[in-house]
Structures are given as structure tokens and as C-alpha cells.
Amino acid sequence: MRADAWGSATIVGFDIETTGLDVEVDEPVSYAFVEFRAGVLSSVDEGWIEPRQPISSGAAGVHGLTTERLAALGAVDLDTGIMRIAGRLGELCDANVPVVGCNLAYDLTMIDRVLARAMPASSLRSEGWTGPALDVLVLDRGLDQDFAERPVRRLDALCTHYGHGAPCHSASSDAEAAVLVLLSQLARFEELAASSLRELQERQAAWHAQWCVDWSTRRRGGQASLFGDEEPWPYDERAAQPRFAAAAR
């Protein structure tokens, strides 16, 4: 499916808010799937989750979700919530609908780790998700590499750059903002508009790998590493699992 088809078809923004920043131990406290059809917002599916981990003060200060607030919102238990997320991701994969986000590797890796701790243990792959993914952060780095001019490319900075209002740090607001940024990127960059989902899957993985190497080299003052600096994209699977292979049709 080429961009002139996928850009005007269904795309779904995805985001989670979490107990903290460590993908290995932290957990989601909210999630959202924000669906756009033909570039227009068509539905929002947002839910709240009771985590087993405590919510850090830093995370609560960003998204405003506390144990008491989650209870008032009708949050479900962690196992129920994580299976709802995994189930929806699997459905989107089956329909070849791209998941859109900003720094998706963080969200998807955390989901994969929580699934691994579930009973019975599972994973994103075993739940049926293998892509496609469109990460506006990775796309922006790949399509506009003037990092001296724009070194900060978090979601709020991307919204400003592409002429959108800043999100309010809820899962639904961030997911919607990511789709709006993607639509602006689609209008601005001809090579994005000319690429299929499969091509973009492969190019994003390559762009992300190169960015990891370049970032690590800059951090070491220009000294290349003796070890591999590449990080897997769109998420870091468990070592026991096969590495992600581009599977977008």
C-alpha cells in the first residue's frame, strides 16, 4: 500500500502514560487508540489501568494520574488492561493499519515487557503485532537531519515545528498529536508520500539504527564505539525472541 492509499485510509495514533521511565519494570496507567480516517479524527478509545508498581512522583507530575484518580476513572487491573492493548494492536496488524506515535520504541517495549510478566507469559509478537508502525520522531530525524538547527524533537517540539498546539500529556492528547504531526510530515516530504508502508518500515529501522550510532559518537566526542550502538526498532524484543522483521504488507 503506497502513501496515496495509506495516507487517506485509516491510521491509528497510540500512546501510553506510565508509572515511570524504566521500560523493564514500569507499567502503563493509561492508554489511547485515536483513529483517523481520511485525515479526520473518527474515534477515541482511551482506558485507565491500575498498575502494580507505584506511580513515581515525576510521572504523576506529568500526566496527573494517581492511585486515587485512577480508581475514580474506573481503571481496570493490569492484566485486563494489557490484554486490551495487545488485542487492539493485534487487530490493527491483521488489518494492516499503521500504529502512529512518537518514540514508539518506548511504549511498545514497555508493553512487551509487561506481557512477558503476565500469567501466562506472552509478547507483542505472540499476541499478533508485527507492524506496521509510523514513528513521527524517527521519521523527522530521517527526513530532516539538521540536528544543529533542531536538536530537541520531543512531541511538543514536533507539534510546534509542524504548526500544531502542544498536547496536554494525556494518552489521547499525545496520540492525536502524533497523527497530526504525521499528516503534516506527509504533506511536507515528497519521499514520505511516495513510500509504501513496507518501505517506510525498513527505512525507519535503518534511520533509527544510524541515529543511535551518530548520537553515541557525538556523546563520546567523535570517538566511534568498539561495540554496536544500534538499538532495535520499533521495539526491543526479548533476546529469546527473534528480532523484529519488517512485516508490513
Distance (Å, rounded) from C-alpha 125 to C-alpha 90?
9
User: Distance between CA 197 and CA 194 in Å, rounded?
Assistant: 10
pLDDT band at 240 (very low <50, low <70, confident <90, very high): very low
pTM of the model: 0.90
DSSP assignments along 42-81, one per residue: EEEEEEEEE-SSPPPHHHHHHH---HHHHHHTTPEEHHHH
- Residue 146: pLDDT band (50, 70, 90) is confident
204 vs 230 pLDDT, higher one: 204
Whole-number mean pLDDT of the chain? 90
pLDDT tens sequence across 82-132: 999 999 999 999 999 999 999 999 999 999 999 999 988 999 999 999 999
Least confident segment among 49-58, 124-133, 188-197, 207-216: 207-216
Lowest average pLDDT, out of 99-108, 116-125, 157-166, 238-247, goes to 238-247
Going by the DSSP 8-state scheme, the letter that residue 163 receives in this structure is T
* Residue 193: per-residue pLDDT: 87
Burial 93-108 (b: 16+ CB within 10 A, else e): beebbbbbbbbbbbbb
Domain ranges of the chain: 3-219
- Specify the pLDDT at position 218: 64
What are the counts of helices (DSSP H) followed by strands (DSSP E) for the chain? 10, 6
| Three-class SS state of 15 | strand
**Residue 145: is it exposed, middle or buried by C-beta count within 10 angstroms (0-12/13-18/19+)?**
middle
Altogether, the residues listed in the chain come to a count of 249
Mean pLDDT of 28-32: 98
| Radius of gyration of the chain, Cα coordinates, nearest whole angstrom | 18
What pLDDT was estimated at residue 229?
52
Q: Which three cell numbers stand for residue 163?
A: 504548526
Burial bucket for residue 121 (CB in 10 Å: 0-12, 13-18, 19+): exposed
Looking at residue 242, what is its pLDDT?
A: 37
CATH code of the region 3-219: 3.30.420.10
